[in-house]
Amino acid sequence: MHMLDGKVVAITGAGRGIGREIALLCAREGAAVVVNDFGGSLSGDGSDAGPAVTVVKEIEQAGGRAIVNLANVADAAGAASIVDDAIGAFGRVDAIVNNAGVSRDGMFHKMTAENWQAVIDVHLGGSFYLSRAAAPHFREQRSGSFVHMTSTSGLIGNVGQSNYAAAKMGIVGLSNSIALDMQSFGVRSNCVAPFAWSRMTESIPVRSDAERQRVERLKTMTPDKIAPIVAFLCSDAAVDVSGQIFCVRKNEIFLFSPPRPVRSLHRAEGWSPATIASELLPAFRPSLFPLQVSGDLFAWDPV
Three-state SS for 32-55 is EEEEECCCCCCCCCCCCCHHHHHH
Three-class secondary structure of residue 23 per DSSP: helix
Phi/psi at 145 (5° precision): -135, 130
DSSP letters, 120-138, are: HIIIIIHHHHHHHHHHHHH
Say if CB 141 and CB 100 are below 8 A apart: no
Q: For strands 95-98 and 65-69, give the pairing.
A: unpaired
- From CA 30, how far away is CA 42, in angstroms rounded? 30
Three-class secondary structure of residue 77 per DSSP: helix
Containing H/E element for 167? Answer: helix 162-182
The residues assigned a catalytic role are 164
| CA neighbor of 232 nearest in space, from 15, 4, 28, 21 | 4
Query: How many residues are there in the chain?
Result: 303
Say if CB 28 and CB 58 are below 8 A apart: no
Which one-letter amino acid corresponds to residue 40? G
